Structure 1
Amino acid sequence: MDLRNIAIIAHVDHGKTTLVDELLKQSGAFRANQAVAERAMDSNDLERERGITILAKATSVEWHGHRINIVDTPGHADFGGEVERILSMVDGVVLLVDAAEGPMPQTKFVTSKALALGLRPIVVLNKVDKPDAEPDRALDECFDLFVALGADEDQLDFPHMYASGRSGWADAEMDGPRKNLDALFQLIINHVPAPKQLAKQNDDFRMLATTLGNDPFVGRILTGRVESGRLKVGQTIQALSRVGQKIEQFRVTKIQAFRGLGQQDIDEAIAGDIVSLAGMTKATVSDTLCALAVEEPLEAQPIDPPTITVTFGINDSPLAGREGKKVQSRVIRERLMKEAESNVAIKVTDTPGGEAFEVAGRGELQMGVLIENMRREGFELSISRPQVLMREENGQRMEPIEEVTIDVDDDYSGEAVAYALWNLEERGRMFLGPQAKIYQGMIIGEHSRDNDLEVNPLKGKKLTNVRASGTDDAVRLTPHINFSLEEAIAYINDDELVEVTPESIRLRKRYLDPHERKRMSKQN
């Protein structure tokens, strides 16, 4: 069967996962009576809740005698470690661009990685049926983006299509029939080359591990593309590190290929296939799985260095241990080390004292996802303010930069809105409502001035002997601010922490006692 390996890349929320859903449906990957959830490729709970792709995932469809392996990649630079590894498994990319918004900052990040690998893009202008769609402008901006990223002539001569992923159609012309995605399937077959690895089926087996998973029955599972040779279940192979050091020798207990949304056991994998292998105990991401005769490892795609670092510490607040079960530093360390093993974009180092750990990563969203997963697993944590990581280049100290696009309604641009300012309360804004558990040193609101204000929110109303019903003022509270995890991490100062438990997110001072705070501020 003719084979194609492609990745679909896009900015967050440009309709990538929805388009993959339609490709699966129209290729017959689902039974006629099968109930399929919206955004079927987003299997992680956080992905479904936030509507974004966090983990790269592969699927496979069959269309008119061709098998197309499709990789759905994250659209955010914070998950770039996933993107960089996954793109090394494919031979072409479909770049999905919102016809109204055009290429966005995250589009630039992922596209630069694809172009650097020499992949030829197909541009799909999605959501062209939106009232504010401007497909011609979006197409021109895509061309300008490719030029700015140093695309070669072949990459600049890219084909494009107009589509609506939600409605399930794609056409070469704006006024096409708008029936189905057949035109996109055909363009993928014609434009994306077959894997060059197909010519190496008689060489020794070699495969670069790109993602790591765990199965309760077979243990560790590594996924990647077979670069050369063949592999059968029961065959003994070895794992080599990036520098060629032998890690282990093991017998392959299972080979799985992607079929639709699931994986299917197969007896043999050949060059060009994207498969998952089981049987190893030590091998991990970026290692080479190969025949015993092979001595040279495959070159692993370099991963961009971390840009921020966050300190994960034990929760030492007065409310520690009430909502979560996993509070010991040893358990926190084991969980972070396990994360770093499967996510090569994260680096974990111990701090003096052993009760806190420095976690370096790509951004606040990546850190927020890790912390959210840990709190759902029952962990309690104290999280520090993110610190930007500098690095030396050509003798100069460099810091990471971010591009951001901000859309502001005309009604709210320019001078500050007088009504909003007039409504600001005298003292500031509250972060919690009545009946919330509090303790000394906890941050309960934002002072309207630039200094900290010590307050006592437990002070009750003094009662008199006689009170007429009409003279007592009713207490009416302004709705308080609810921080998300990422907002809380971005909000705190250097002398503050975020307390994270399975049920709560609290802001607190690093030193709870006000006298100790004053003493430490003088020392610093």
Structure 2
Amino acid sequence: MPTRNDLRNVAIIAHVDHGKTTLVDALLRQAGALGRSKGEGTDNDSTQDRVMDSGELERERGITILAKNTAIHLHDDEGNPVIVNIVDTPGHADFGGEVERALSMVDGVCLLVDASEGPLPQTRFVLRKALAKGMPVILAVNKTDRQDARIEEVVDETYELFMELLEDAGLPAETLEFPIVYCNGRTGQASLNKPENGTVPDSPDLGPLVKTLLDTIPAPVYDAEEPLRAQVTNLDASPYLGRLALLRIHSGEMKNGQQVAWCKADGTIERVKITELLVTEGLDRTTAASAGPGDLVAVAGIPDIGIGDTLADPNDPRPLPAITVDEPSISITMGINTSPLSGKSGKKVTARLIKNRLDQELIGNVSVRMLPTERPDTWEMQGRGELALAILVEQLRREDFELTVGRPTVVTKEIDGKLHEPVERVTIDTPGEYVGTLTQALASRRGRLENLVHHDTGWARMEYICPSRGLIGFRTEFLTETRGTGVLNHTLEGYEPWLGDMRARPTGSLVADRSGVATTYSMFSLQERGQMMVEPGTEVYEGMIIGENSRPDDMDVNITKEKKLTNMRKATSEELERLVPPKILNLEQALEFCAEDECVEVTPGTVRIRKVELDQTVRGRTRNKKPKL
């Protein structure tokens, strides 16, 4: 079958923070793509870091949320021009749907592994997906200049991971034969020779990595007899062209302005016209007259097109198989803001606006599902993890929405008549002194220790299998126990029979018993009861959580009490009342803190935790109600 020798499609996959986006930056810079870009502002400046992370949240958090592709122009050994399409993928397991879509666009992968941390849970996830598709793999050991680098051990650990995954998938042992490149994305250097631990590769640039990519990643193969077939793998938008469908052409030729058959997910076929055909050059999209098999292109002119749809020859439409992703494991309820302060901060507060925005999210995010609830103004949103759902809520918050968000819960399954729950593989890197504390904490959350390794550096690596519901709210406790030094990573492992009851949050809540403004005088006496979560002068209402009780029970308190004024002076009247600084929670921490009868009020201006039932009298009757005999 013919091949496109002038083209390569490769995805950069790795665990979070192992340097994917930085390495892509270096490839773009050395290929001259940043200098050729015609975009405005600083995003395309050659001095800008992480140019692929274009989203506001991505730049703030330093993570990749959406998979994006770029193209660089290179030459092979014979001097022939080659276009290399590079897809930068997220590293968090919560955005696994983006990784699965990216793998449907490429013919091979470059697996990045940190020279110190080695393979981690997301490394296992993305590598399993790549091997299941039979893709060739290039191993790139990155960050070789780290002072705690252990290059040889990391390569051995990666080989062990390959062997384990090959055995699970029943694949041949020949897949173990993969090239190894040693890289430093920050300095833009790579080498086929293993450098000493803590040193940079001996090559002055990324030439060895580029040559390995061209030699290892196969050129796209196609059938010249097949008609046009191209599948939508992602969606984007342009202020001038409207919705853009990003797709890979599997066979045939696509021309600008031609008529195509739009094969929808529901099985219907509609004839549409492509108003604009775009290809990627560096960080820009430019108009193209035509594109062929293997090309990654963007088309405009189809406003309602969705991910997984196929564009085909109108005279011979043949839909491609739909893109499948793993099922969600965590869910939250989202609805209108029902607090007394509703409408004071955001502009979009109605159920219709929220429902339309969530429907729009479903079109471009294949990892998220939406289910109806008993109430018409509340919906259940299911996703891969707490981070993915928190990112969605944060995006809505920045778009001037007001929401009520429930506590995260797990999505269960019934298998062979028994209830099963999702479990996750947890990897923890921590100073050795905290191993005992973390072992006790995870044991109470039904965690099962799989492996424990103590390194010469005084650090230890712990591997657990733990129920997903046991990890809800665990990150805050983990950072507290390890004094902020530990590193926690986890990814979905599968489903196991329901593991029984699990301990809830060991502390209760301090709940405001009336509306008003929090006063310093009242908070000074209440801080002995627990940790405050609001500042003096904050507007509160009945049922709002204003602090964490040091005891397991909830306590209704008056935080609006003011000091009575008299004409008598006291010897201590000049003393200042010193308050302990309150613990102000962000959105993710608030979702983790929630108890079963609590929810989070999210507005553009603030995040508040509140009881689902605001009336303390009603809550008291429910709490004291005895079960019938």
Q: Which moved more, 1:70-79 or 1:431-440?
A: 431-440
Deviations 1:225-275 (CA, angstroms, capped at 9, x unpaired) = 1000001111101111346x2242101111111110111111101011010
Contact 2:261 2:317 in 1 (8 A): no
Structure 1 position 307, deviation (Å): 0.8
1:45 equivalent in alignment to 2:56: yes
For the residue of structure 2 that corresponds to 1:30, the secondary structure is: helix
What is the 5 A alignment of 1:207-246?
207-242=230-265, 245-246=267-268
| Structure 1 residue 470 displacement after superposition | 4.9
The answer on whether the counterparts of 2:36 and 2:282 sit within 8 Å (CA) in structure 1 is: no
The within-5 A match list for 1:159-174 is 159-174=179-194
TM-score (norm: length of structure 1):
0.94
Aligned to 1:30: 34
Give the conservation status (yes or no) of the 8 Å contact 1:92–1:193. Answer: yes
Tell me which moved more, 376-385 or 360-369.
Answer: 360-369
Match of 1:453 in 2: 555
Helix, strand or coil: the match of 2:397? helix
Q: Which residue of 2 aligns with 1:109?
A: 125
Give yes or no for contact 1:238–1:246 (8 Å, CA) kept in 2. Answer: no
Question: Residue 28 of structure 1 aligns to which amino acid in structure 2?
Answer: G
- The 3-state SS of whatever aligns with 2:33 is coil
CA contact (8 A) 1:427 1:447 kept: yes
Q: Equivalent residue for 2:513?
A: none
1:477 is paired with a residue of what secondary structure?
coil
Aligned counterparts of 2:329 and 2:271: Cα–Cα separation in 1: 36
Query: Does residue 1:351 correspond to 2:373, yes or no?
Result: yes
Separation in 2, partners of 1:42, 1:93 = 20
How many Å separate the matches in 1 of 2:224 and 2:536? 68
Task: Return the letter of the residue paired with 2:150.
Answer: E
Cα offset for 1:215?
2.4
Question: Match for residue 196 of structure 1?
Answer: 221
Moved more, 480-489 or 504-513: 480-489
Are 1:486 and 2:588 an aligned pair? yes
Residues 1:319 and 2:341 are matched in the alignment = yes
Distance 1:262 1:494 in 2: 48
Q: Which residue of 1 aligns with 2:314?
A: 292
Aligned to 2:490: none
SS of residue matched to 1:71: strand
Counterpart in 2 of 1:20?
24
User: Which whole-Å CA distance do the structure 2 matches of 1:505 and 1:330 have between them?
Assistant: 22
Partner of 2:495: none
Q: Which amino acid is the alignment partner of residue 162 of structure 1?
A: Y
Deviates more, 1:479-488 or 1:161-170: 479-488
Greater alpha carbon shift after TM alignment, 138-147 vs 4-13: 138-147
Matched, 1:133 2:149: yes
Contact between 1:242 and 1:297, CA under 8 Å: does it hold in 2?
no
Helix, strand or coil for the counterpart of 2:374?
A: coil
Q: In 2, distance between residues paired with 1:264 and 1:469?
A: 78
Counterpart residue type for residue 27 of structure 1: A
Matched residues in 1 for 2:96 and 2:437: separation? 38
Report the CA distance between 1:434 and its aligned residue: 1.3
Counterpart pick for 2:609 among 507, 512, 523:
507
Q: Which moved more, 1:375-384 or 1:148-157?
A: 148-157
Q: Which runs of 5+ in 2 are unaligned?
A: 38-43, 76-80, 196-200, 439-479, 484-526
**Aligned Cα root-mean-square deviation (Å):** 2.2
Q: SS at the partner of 1:454? A: strand
Of all paired residues, the percent bearing the same amino acid is 45
Equivalent position SS for 1:407: strand
CA–CA distance in structure 1, aligned partners of residues 147 and 374 of structure 2: 58
Q: Distance in 2 between matches of 1:30 and 1:415?
A: 48
Counterpart of 1:393, as a letter, is I
Match in the other structure for 2:537 = 435
How far did residue 426 of structure 1 move?
A: 4.1
Q: How many residues align?
A: 517
- Kept in 1, the 8 Å contact 2:140–2:182? The answer is yes
Q: CA deviation at 1:523?
A: 8.5
Q: 1:373 aligns with which of 361, 378, 395?
A: 395
Q: Secondary structure, in 3 states, of the residue corresponding to 1:366? A: helix
Equivalent-residue separation in structure 2 for 1:485 and 1:147 (angstroms) = 40
Task: Name the structure 2 match of 1:54.
Answer: 65
> Please, which moves more after superposition, 300-309 or 18-27?
300-309
CA contact 1:326–1:378 (8 Å) conserved in 2? yes
Note if 1:183 corresponds to 2:285.
no
Alpha-carbon displacement from aligned partner over 1:435-459 (angstroms, at most 9, x marks no partner): 1221110001111111101111111
CA apart distance, 1:331: 0.4
CA distance in 2, matches of 1:193, 1:319: 59
Cα distance in 2 between the residues matched to 1:32 and 1:85: 28
Structure 1 position 483, deviation (Å): 1.8
- CA contact 1:255–1:265 (8 Å) conserved in 2: yes
The separation in 2 between residues aligned to 1:479 and 1:405, in whole angstroms, is 33
User: Following the alignment from structure 2 to structure 1, what is the Cα–Cα distance between the partners of residues 437 and 279?
Assistant: 58
**Aligned-partner residue type, residue 211 of structure 1:** N
Query: How much has 1:351 moved relative to structure 2?
Result: 2.2
User: For 1:364, which of 370, 386, 401 is the aligned residue?
Assistant: 386
Residue type at the aligned position of 1:16 = K
Which residue of 2 is the match for residue 477 of structure 1? 579
SS of residue paired to 1:154? helix
Equivalent residue runs for 1:348-427 within 5 Å: 348-410=370-432, 412=434, 414=436, 426-427=528-529
The question of whether the paired residues in 1 share the 8 Å contact of 2:229 and 2:318 is answered with no
CA distance in 2, matches of 1:393, 1:71: 37
Amino acid at match of 1:241: K
Q: Which amino acid aligns with 1:364?
A: E
The Cα offsets for residues 146-173 of structure 1, whole Å up to 9 and x where unpaired, read as: 1221253232111111111111101111
1:98 aligns with 2:121: no
Aligned ranges 1:262-301 → 2 under 5 Å: 262-301=284-323
Alpha-carbon distance between aligned partners in 1 of 2:276 and 2:203, rounded to the nearest angstrom: 42
Residue from 164, 168, 178 that aligns with 1:158:
178
Residue 472 of structure 1: how far off its partner (Å): 4.5
- Inter-partner Cα distance in structure 2 for 1:428 and 1:391: 39
Is this contact kept in 2: 1:256–1:276, CA < 8 A? yes
Alignment of 1:245-256 (within 5 A): 245-256=267-278
Q: For 1:520 and 1:280, how far apart are their aligned partners in 2?
A: 53
Aligned counterpart in structure 2 of residue 444 of structure 1, from 546, 567, 574: 546
Which amino acid letter does the alignment assign opposite residue 43 of structure 1?
S
Moved more, 501-510 or 427-436: 427-436
Task: Give the Cα–Cα distance (whole angstroms) in 2 for the partners of residues 482 and 162 of structure 1.
Answer: 43
The secondary structure found in structure 1 opposite 2:278 is strand
| TM-score, normalised via structure 2 length | 0.79
Who is 2:283 aligned against? 261
Once residues 52 and 469 of structure 1 are traced to their aligned partners in structure 2, the CA distance between those partners, rounded to angstroms, is: 56
Further displaced range: 326-335 or 74-83: 74-83
User: What SS does the aligned partner of 1:66 have?
Assistant: strand
Partner Cα separation in structure 1 for residue 531 and residue 406 of structure 2: 22
